[in-house]
Chains A and B, each alone.
Chain A
Amino acid sequence: MSKPTLLLIDDEERILRSLRMLFFSGYKVHMTTDPQEAIRILREERVHVIVSDQRMPLMQGSELLSLAREASPATMRILLTGYSDLDASIASVNEGEVFRYLMKPWDAEEVKKVVAEAAAIAEASFAVQMHTDISVDTASARSRVLIMDHDESTARTVHETLGDRCEIIWASDAQHAMEELAKQDVSVVVSDLMLGETNVGYILKTIKQLNPQTQCIVVTSFNDTSRLIELINQAQITRFLPKPVSKNLLARNLESMLERFHAVRNQPALQNRQAVAPISDPKEKIQAGNFLGMLGRLRARMGA
């Protein structure tokens, strides 16, 4: 394989020069401070990975990445920013659909590793057509939707939107969610971040490790930027909708995430595009380990 192509965008040229040097040997590196130029490059050339700053005078990074998604869907998108603001991180999930949200100052080795991983995933997905026609038989296997939210309105919207096509499970606590997951994987998860007293972040992260095809929608009134960034990197949540969320918005996202699930299932090469980073929080790591262990035992018992 020839060298993968990397596109770097930042309004500070010194950042660009520094990053270029980091990828000097293994990549073909393009860099620019101009978002329009970046889009032009994406259209003209096959770019494996785009790494963008968030706060730039001409265009926000999340907006640029969302344009990049249209111009070159197979390109893996990474945000590299020194400014963690909630709106920016929400936009980077919902519009930018970023693979990783990285912070400045960055760890050189980590960034190298993430970009290398992204480049390999991009290479694999170039071979696959990204926009497959989703007239595939969605009925072949009934999709399952797992709700982890005590908010009744969320459950009602899910029922009204997908009730005729999917099996819908409304889990009241972590134990219940686990039992359902033990039976069979789910297609879409709609979850708040808190389920009663339980912080369900580790469950979302585990679900994604269990089955990368599952699409996660988070609906919550919790506004914690650093937790959101963790969920982007370690759970690859695909939508983050702040509560109160309008019925239409949730319904629209349910439809598109169900579609996404089928697309990924039909093209397994795509599922790595949502590969997760390892869980960083030590407590969550233990929780996730326990969850996986118990789930494994449950599944073994059911299979027996």
Chain B
Amino acid sequence: MQQATQTGKEIFSLINTIDAISPDCSLEDVAAFFTHPQYSKLLSLPVVEEGRPVGMISRYRFMDIYLKRYARELHGKRPIRKFINGKPLLVELDQPLAVAARHVLANMQFPLTEDFIVTQGGRYLGVGFVMDLLHAMEQQMRANTMELEQANSQLKSSQLALVQSEKMASLGQMVAGIAHEINTPLGYVQNNVAIGQELFQQVQSMIAGYEALVDDLLDEQATEAQIAAQMQQIAERRADVNVQEMLGEMQGLMEDSLYGIAQISELVLNLKNFSRMDAAATEAVNLNECIESALNIGRTVLKDRVEVIKELGDIPKISCAPSQLNQVFLNLFTNAAQAMEGLGKLHIKTWSSESAVHISVADNGKGIPEEILTRIFDPFFTTKPVGEGTGLGLAITHQIIQKHGGEIHVDSRVGEGTCFHIKLPVVTSILMHQPAASEAAT
């Protein structure tokens, strides 16, 4: 319905309300009409009988007849009915613009001698100009193109948003893990400080007691009874709390607290390092550092049950976006952890060949079935339940490696485990950073 009224409007705007002529009009009258200002713009006059269009008479045809010798005398009084084109171009009001245009284009004659008639339910409404119709059509197409362009740019930005949301999803998981990691030391540090505060007050009042006793002892005026009372008070306090023992314990708690604070600082530093660089910034980085950084961040996912075996070789620095590669490694590590039910082993290896740096990440998890192995890098492909994985993790990984001019391959056996192998070029990556290097290479 919406569509129909919308298209009805399109045709409606093309209508020129013109008084139609009757088929019984004489040629003489029609000649007068053609010179009338009301009809001056028209190529042809609509002929309507009982509200329904029966034909068109064009200027071209009319002249052809009427300018012949004796035509006025011969035909002047005759009705126009005999001379009209009985099959005029008809357009229904609620036709879509495109359909109307197609119909008109297919049936119009060259040279253009007639306008078209707009009808509603077969009844005459007015006359439309072909040029107007084509013009409207062109405008619509331009609008369509713009819409397409808009849709295209929207798609592009929603893809960006998706990539971002994948980042946020993995970040969210990570943050929850790190929050736990921080909450543990924060828990005992805070508690220890609270205990220390209480102990401090007890020690304070204890010292006050001792000082009062010393004062009494030094005071020649003090009586035996006074001193005895003071001593009694101290004895009671001592029976109440064993300050020596408490202080001894507190010493340990202080050490624990410092340890906890160091741990929190380390976690915060890791987080900072991890997200420090802009996504696009490139710098010369040793990938072993990225791997360590990702392991630190992913520790919460791994630590409980995954044994990490590192064989990090002596590899040259490569120019890359470290935060992106951090993301790649973290993604591979967490995937591996998720693939391992119960205890598992994560084997991380780096080495270099002539012009490339290699990284392999292998787990002994459940493996990837062969039929889906080719699809794991596809965007939105996921085996996780709805809402848990975006299906973008490996797609983004793939994209990042490609952007760095590298390759990523996977090898997997069900029940045995999965190994990802990444190869990143040393030279090409440097090239994008230092154009002058090509000269040095020759």
Contacts and interface: CB of A to CB of B under 8 A. Distances in A.
Interface of A: 12, 14-15, 17-19, 21-22, 24-25, 55, 57, 80-83, 85, 103-106, 108-109
Contact of A55 (B180, B190, B191, B252): B180
A189 B44 CA distance: 83
Contact of A83 (B183, B185, B188): B183
Contacts of B176: 83, 85
A105 B246 contact: no
Contacts, number: 74
Most buried by A among B176, B191, B259: B191
A82 B183 contact: yes
B161 interface: no
B241 interface: yes
A104 B183 contact: yes
A17 B180 contact: no
B195 A22 contact: yes
Contacts of B246: 24
B179 interface: yes
B135 interface: no
Interface of B: 176-177, 179-180, 182-192, 194-195, 241, 246, 249-250, 252-253, 256, 259-260, 303-305
B259 A14 contact: yes
A108 B185 CA distance: 14
Contacts of A103: 183
Given A12-B184, A22-B195, A24-B246, 7 more contacts: A15-B188, A17-B252, A21-B191, A21-B253, A82-B180, A105-B189, A106-B191
Contact of B256 (A18, A85, A105, A106): A18
B195 A15 contact: no
A201 to B, nearest CB: 23
Contacts of B249: 21, 24
A18 B304 contact: no
A14 B185 contact: yes
26 contacts: A14-B185, A14-B188, A15-B184, A17-B252, A17-B253, A18-B188, A18-B195, A18-B253, A18-B256, A21-B191, A21-B249, A21-B250, A55-B180, A57-B304, A81-B180, A82-B182, A82-B183, A82-B186, A83-B180, A83-B183, A85-B176, A103-B183, A105-B190, A105-B191, A108-B190, A108-B194
Contact of A25 (B180, B192, B241, B305): B241
Nearest to A55: B180
A17 B256 contact: yes
A21 B242 CA distance: 13
Nearest to A16: B188
Contacts of A55: 180, 304
B368 to A, nearest CB: 25
A57 B180 contact: no
Most buried by B among A12, A18, A83: A18
Contacts of B190: 105-106, 108
A224 to B, nearest CB: 14
Nearest to B186: A105
B260 A14 contact: yes
A105 B187 contact: yes
B41 to A, nearest CB: 63
Contacts of B195: 18, 21-22, 108
A12 B190 CA distance: 15
Contacts of A19: 188, 191
A57 B256 CA distance: 21
Contacts of B241: 25
A120 B185 CA distance: 30
Nearest to A18: B188
A82 B191 contact: no
B253 A104 contact: no
Contact of A104 (B177, B187, B192, B259): B187
A22 B191 contact: yes
A106 B180 contact: no
Contacts of A105: 183, 186-187, 189-191
Contacts of A57: 303-305
A21 B192 contact: yes
Nearest to A19: B191
Nearest to A15: B188
B253 A106 contact: no
A13 to B, nearest CB: 9
Contacts of B177: 83
A60 to B, nearest CB: 10
A62 B250 CA distance: 31
A105 B259 CA distance: 16
B307 to A, nearest CB: 12
